[in-house]
Structure 1
Amino acid sequence: MSPPEDMDFGADADPDAWRLEMESGALGDDEAHDTPVAPEQTTRWPAGHLAGRAPLEVLSSVFGYESFRLVQAAAIERVMAGGDALVLMPTGGGKSLCYQIPALCRPGMAIVVSPLIALMDDQVAALRQLGIAAAALHSELGYDEADAVGYALDRGRLDLLYISPERLLSPGMLPRLAKLDLALVAIDEAHCVSAWGHEFRPEYRALVSLGDMLPGVPRIALTATADPRTRTDILAALGLADAEVFATSFHRPNLFVSAQPKGSELGQLTAWLEARRGQAGILYCGSRAKTERIATALAGRGVPAVAFHAGLTPEQKRSALRRFRSGEEMVIVATIAFGMGIDRPDVRFVVHLDMPDSPEGYYQQIGRAGRDGEPADTLLLHGGEDISRARFWLEQSGAPEQQKRVSAQRLESMIALTETTACRTRALLACFGETLAVDCGHCDNCTRPVATFDGTEAARKVLSAIYRTGQRFGALHIVSVLRGEDSEMVRRHGHDRLALFGIGRDQAKGFWRSVIRQLIARDALRTGGEYATLSLHEPVARPILRGEAPVLLREDPVVATDKAARSSRPVAEPTLLDPGAQSLFDRLRAWRMEQAKAQSVPPYVIFNDATLREIAAERPADRARLAEIRGVGASKLERYGAEVLEIVTQSNVS
């Protein structure tokens, strides 16, 4: 497709534009290292100390969990036995453990291929908190940091190395890694390898060479978003013909899924956010310019918001990420296709101000909410112009015809998702080949069922008005003609003398805008040009005009922005605690923030909110009881146990 120039189809990817020569072999030279600060020096145990341990033992002692979830155990068993695997699990389902545990239990170092710098850094920080020798190689490392990683790498002092596909495939890197004892290769965000995926990255295709370059090393590919076609393509593109596929339900019961037609976009947004002040969230926009405009507008209304897109300077991006990763309760406004790579678990809402072009992209983005398992809200604002723009870009695309057909199918599925009157979650899961037996109960159409009406006559009136006015006016003018409004534009073009002038005066403007939007969604109408002029798409419009095709339309609710309407909307709230436990939870969060600042790491890699909430509720009196809390492993118990227990004791006294 050929989007406008300000559309952002970049990602938080490692450009690998420098230091490749250094990494092609120079880091193996002893004379080049005087006193490097190696990554393993920041961890509790040496690399490889867990090799030979049972996976369940490592899950408990290191990660602080007593049992595996979903397909984790089966996938880990497959990789432990040396087999290849493809793991399909929703965001927050625990995909990382499927490679992290065999990486620790098998001899050697694991290579983790990831396209996102921020995600790599979060994963490494979290593993180091657990006492694991992990490191990342990417272009934002300083020279000394990269030097230290290379020093540890060549001496077998790492359990896991996170690396971008570009850097992994740079000259000399694979031969260098092939000399080491390797436990496995994990390919995260594996949908990037598929030309049918929503974030296709051509460099991922070259990863097919890993099978030949690293013979005998098990490979595990992982993704949270892949429909059946994409799954097949992943296996073929990575040469994983013998891989076993482990798939779970994509259903996220903690996500409230909702959509609204656009009215006053900024008004709708600020009203919706008003009930969610003090929560962290992500807003997605379709262009860089819009992210800047929305972030500025929200900041002017007292909402802590910052823009984040590929056009910012590296320092601006780092500053925005630091604020968001620090646990600050804020809103980050990002471009739709920009890979945030954020591991923050307490994102309470995700809003789309422009429609994604596929259900896969939409699901990937809303999946960044509620990773901690607590309730989270999602909202999609959509309009007819979004639909027409997306169709136009697709038509103008220079992609092969087969790919355009698949993209068109996905776009139409996304459009249908916005306009459906049935359970949205069932419609979304159907895009991934999954059937939900009953309605979800946690989407807007389930909690507030949508009424429908026979809109055949209304549709014919709209189509006739567009045809009789020459198919060269936008929606506002067409609505004026239908409602019989005495405007300068209407008089200038003589449209007040048309026979159909005023035939729709019995309905409000919002009603006719809704009919127009739904006719665009049905592809009976197209828009184009600078002024979004409406024209008939005759193959669909003609049968409607002739009365040969009935039209069933949804009754759009009036979008209210007053205080009463705001308070009546469902708002995701985390698990409630009694007043005493809530006070202790707040103290633990404050302590965690101090620790995070002192170590320059995100607070959630120390303890996530779910763990702190359980500590506050259970009030463990000793190390043995604290060790039983989910998420408290041996390393964290050793690092933080005394301080946490002291806070609990002080809370009991007060």
Structure 2
Amino acid sequence: METSAQLDKFDLLKTFFGYDKFLPNQEEIINNVLAQKDTIAIMPTGGGKSLCFQLPALALEGTAIVISPLIALMKDQVDALKANGISAAFFNSSQPYDKQQQILKELQDESLKLLYVAPESLPQVNFILKSIKISLFAVDEAHCISSWGHDFRPAYTQLNSLKKQFSQVPIIALTATADRPTRVDIATQLTIPDAKTFIASFDRPNLYLDVRPGQNRNKQILNFLAKRGTQSGIIYCLSKKSTEKLAATLNSKGHKAQAYHAGLTSEERSNIQDNFLNDQTPIIVATIAFGMGIDKSNVRWVIHYNLPKNIEGYYQEIGRSGRDGLNAHTLLFYSLADVIMLRKFAEGTETETYQLAKLERMQQYAEALSCRRKALLGYFGEHITEDCGNCDICKTPPKYFDGTLIAQKICSAVARLQEQEALGMVLDVLRGAQNAQVFDKGYQNIKTFGAAKDISWRDLQQYAIQLLNQGVLQIYFHENGRLLLTPLAKKVLFEEKKVRLANIIQEVEKVKTERTPRKRADLFEKLKTLRLKLAQEISMPAYIIFSDAALEDMEHKKPRTREEFAEISGVGEAKLEKYADDFLKVINRHLDSLESTLPTHERSYKMYVEESLSPLEIASKRGLSEDSVYGHFIKMHRQGNDFDFSQFISSKEIKKIKKAKETLENPDALKPYFEYFEERLPYWKIKLGLYL
């Protein structure tokens, strides 16, 4: 490997990672690290965080130590680095003793450019770190160090000793989601108060943001999956029981799904994760334990079966889709029942007020009637002026109507129920529900019983939520979610204040707005099949060989030669050497079958005459044997086309072949000639000599 000191950052980017340019903010962050300054980088999932420490690790002298929270993340990143020709390893408690010793020796010999280590395992390598040259410390998923962060891990707090022990080594802390209190806490905990903070855009324009009411979720999910074939996706549920139940339902309907949760053994979790990474199980139904550090680039959709407890978690989870930059669909189901359950989880905890405030913001996002991307980015302090055009609200903007009468009916029912009942009961009364809960309390006798029986339960629920958002109603979550009237409700009831409500978009209409995956051309599918075959041969996830985005680039650019293949996004020197020939063979075969209806011998002749390719190059491009190509030339000559064979066979060789013909017992077969010349004359040359 050429020493990285000899390469500038752009050379490193192309040589090892196969890219021609940096993503937004990457270059500035890398420059700061190369200047050996402490850095905090807040970048969205899929925004290229890893490159911000991987490239400086190559450019700087010594070994980069990467502290990473999950074994799966380490393995994925190390596999990807090795595939790019970079010396890297990971060290953690899951490895056998012999393997650990081998890695420690490589570390001591300073033959590694990057070592990934879990925070819990850091003390085991500390004695070596003191004796070697360390280029930088990278703290990945840095929000885990902060008690304000949504994934706090106590083991991360010991990292505050890094700066004391290695004062001259720069630290880069990276995370996809950190609000201001978390960012400040990261700098404090790591004792890097002067670190320069870079906050990249949180916008992931390729993600379609979709929120739907939580009724009939299973039916909605089955409709959603019917359009997505074997695409990879994740469904997040709040409970272990939900994951198992939903996975069973999906499997019974012909989908391939597995449940993933903390109740499984670590071996079971590891197997499920590997099946997902290797495209053997396309659907994972999981609790939020799944996904942190999953570096799978071709996740095409993420569904939230329940409302997440905060926007940070939601943003990180949807960010696991579309990491290759291609379109992905995110779907969130929302119900007030989820809100009530999540509030109960938060109540009584040390950070109750903080958690409830976060949940409220999550609820506001789910109930938004304007561009969702504006609401999402606004939470992270990033304000856009234009609507995004790629969310459910932008695709199908709500139409408003005079909803005063409906508002009055809902408010009247709340008042007649003495402001003691939750939304579900209020709706049952308004719709005249004939159930035991209503009759046990005598609610069938109040004046508003059945007053809105002409409106579906689902629509009525959504109208009530709109009244909550408009401040006409309020909800006491801490008192079983009972609904109360606000001063504004009194104006609606008694002063004829007008209320505008948004029409509810029915599910059938909503489905029309979804982005259905485009039909892949044959070439893409052929490249995908080859990628899977090569991945299985080396027991690695397919996307580590090439991402879907790289395959799309091949499909678009249709490279014919190694030089053209080197221009594909994601093709560095190592991947060019390993994979160019295999992929070019598939591409050229495909293009040959499309480009011309010419007979095969005419196609070879055309490539020789018009493209000046040698018989060997033609054979390689077309996936043929060299013998076949010379056979094509002979056929073209027989048909009256000029052809100079003298550059391929000398007159002396022709004489020898003719002489052999006179002596052989079976002069019509080629094999006797091949044996006669002791296998020194190739078959194609024998064929030419006999023809000329």
Question: TM-score category by the smaller chain?
Answer: 0.7 to 0.9
Aligned with 1:599 (options 508, 532, 538):
538
Give identity over the alignment, percent.
Answer: 39
Contact preservation (8 Å) 2:492, 2:499: no
Counterpart for residue 422 of structure 1: 370
- Report the secondary structure of 2:259's partner residue: strand
How far 1:329 sits from its partner (Å)? 6.3
Q: Distance in 1 between matches of 2:160 and 2:557?
A: 49
Counterpart for residue 77 of structure 1: 31
Q: Distance in 2 between matches of 1:311 and 1:507?
A: 42
Aligned with 1:584 (options 492, 502, 523):
523
Contact preservation (8 Å) 1:327, 1:604: no
1:37-80 deviation digits (Å, cap 9, x = unpaired): xxxxxxxx4xx932453111111111111222211111111111
1:114-139 deviation digits (Å, cap 9, x = unpaired): 11211111100000001111111123
How far 1:285 sits from its partner (Å)? 0.6
Q: Distance in 2 between matches of 1:413 and 1:444?
A: 19
1:145 aligns with 2:89: no
Q: Distance in 1 between matches of 2:445 and 2:291?
A: 53
Structure 2 unaligned residues grouped into runs of 5+: 594-692
Residue identity opposite 1:156 in structure 2: E
C-alpha distance 270-527 of structure 1, shift in aligned 2 (>3 A): farther
C-alpha distance 323-547 of structure 1, shift in aligned 2 (>3 A): farther
Counterpart for residue 556 of structure 1: 504
C-alpha distance 495-72 of structure 1, shift in aligned 2 (>3 A): closer
How far 1:528 sits from its partner (Å)? 7.5
Q: Distance in 2 between matches of 1:193 and 1:456?
A: 50
Counterpart for residue 483 of structure 2: 536
Residue identity opposite 1:624 in structure 2: E
Residue identity opposite 1:327 in structure 2: D
Contact preservation (8 Å) 1:304, 1:330: yes
Contact preservation (8 Å) 2:63, 2:113: yes
Q: Distance in 2 between matches of 1:116 and 1:205?
A: 16
Contact preservation (8 Å) 1:276, 1:571: no
C-alpha distance 463-237 of structure 1, shift in aligned 2 (>3 A): farther
Contact preservation (8 Å) 2:396, 2:513: no
1:524 aligns with 2:474: yes
1:569 aligns with 2:508: no
Structure 1 unaligned residues grouped into runs of 5+: 1-44
- Report the secondary structure of 2:89's partner residue: strand
Counterpart for residue 92 of structure 1: 46
How far 1:486 sits from its partner (Å)? 4.3
Aligned with 1:440 (options 388, 395, 413):
388
Counterpart for residue 200 of structure 1: 152
Counterpart for residue 183 of structure 2: 231
Using structure 1 for the length normalisation, give the TM-score.
0.84
Counterpart for residue 155 of structure 1: 109
Using structure 2 for the length normalisation, give the TM-score.
0.80
Query: Which region of structure 1 is more displaced relative to structure 2, 83-92 or 543-552?
Result: 543-552
C-alpha distance 545-494 of structure 1, shift in aligned 2 (>3 A): farther
How far 1:527 sits from its partner (Å)? 5.6
Contact preservation (8 Å) 2:258, 2:281: no
Residue identity opposite 1:182 in structure 2: I
Counterpart for residue 197 of structure 2: 245
- Report the secondary structure of 1:183's partner residue: strand
C-alpha distance 441-180 of structure 1, shift in aligned 2 (>3 A): same
- Report the secondary structure of 1:388's partner residue: helix
How far 1:606 sits from its partner (Å)? 1.0
1:643 aligns with 2:582: yes
Counterpart for residue 256 of structure 2: 304
| Within-5 A mapping of 1:252-291 | 252-291=204-243
Counterpart for residue 335 of structure 2: 383
Q: Distance in 1 between matches of 2:447 and 2:164?
A: 74
Residue identity opposite 1:191 in structure 2: H
Number of aligned positions between the proteins: 590
Counterpart for residue 36 of structure 1: none
1:361 aligns with 2:298: no
| Within-5 A mapping of 1:43-122 | 45=1, 49-122=3-76
Contact preservation (8 Å) 2:428, 2:438: yes
Contact preservation (8 Å) 2:492, 2:498: no
Query: Which region of structure 1 is more displaced relative to structure 2, 82-91 or 252-261?
Result: 82-91
Counterpart for residue 9 of structure 1: none
Contact preservation (8 Å) 1:275, 1:571: no
Q: Distance in 2 between matches of 1:559 and 1:67?
A: 42
Query: Which region of structure 1 is more displaced relative to structure 2, 150-159 or 466-475?
Result: 466-475
Contact preservation (8 Å) 1:383, 1:517: no
C-alpha distance 131-262 of structure 1, shift in aligned 2 (>3 A): same
Query: Which region of structure 1 is more displaced relative to structure 2, 376-385 or 484-493?
Result: 484-493
Q: Distance in 2 between matches of 1:216 and 1:550?
A: 66
Residue identity opposite 1:484 in structure 2: G
C-alpha distance 493-83 of structure 1, shift in aligned 2 (>3 A): closer
1:293 aligns with 2:241: no
How far 1:646 sits from its partner (Å)? 2.6
Q: Distance in 2 between matches of 1:412 and 1:118?
A: 33
How far 1:205 sits from its partner (Å)? 2.5
Contact preservation (8 Å) 1:103, 1:110: yes
C-alpha distance 76-476 of structure 1, shift in aligned 2 (>3 A): closer
Residue identity opposite 1:442 in structure 2: N
- Report the secondary structure of 2:507's partner residue: coil
Aligned with 1:211 (options 141, 155, 163):
163
Contact preservation (8 Å) 1:52, 1:107: no
1:344-381 deviation digits (Å, cap 9, x = unpaired): 11111111011111111111000011001011101100
Q: For CA contacts below 8 A with separation 6 or more, give which structure has more relative contact order.
A: 1
1:1-53 deviation digits (Å, cap 9, x = unpaired): xxxxxxxxxxxxxxxxxxxxxxxxxxxxxxxxxxxxxxxxxxxx4xx932453
Residue identity opposite 1:621 in structure 2: R
Q: Distance in 2 between matches of 1:500 and 1:584?
A: 63
1:513 aligns with 2:476: no
Aligned with 2:379 (options 407, 420, 431):
431
How far 1:396 sits from its partner (Å)? 2.3
Contact preservation (8 Å) 2:421, 2:483: no
Aligned with 1:612 (options 530, 533, 551):
551
- Report the secondary structure of 1:92's partner residue: coil
Q: Distance in 1 between matches of 2:498 and 2:154?
A: 45
Query: Which region of structure 1 is more displaced relative to structure 2, 585-594 or 155-164?
Result: 585-594
Q: Distance in 1 between matches of 2:454 and 2:27?
A: 63
Q: Distance in 2 between matches of 1:183 and 1:543?
A: 67
Contact preservation (8 Å) 2:232, 2:301: yes
Q: Distance in 1 between matches of 2:320 and 2:30?
A: 24
- Report the secondary structure of 2:530's partner residue: helix
How far 1:288 sits from its partner (Å)? 0.9
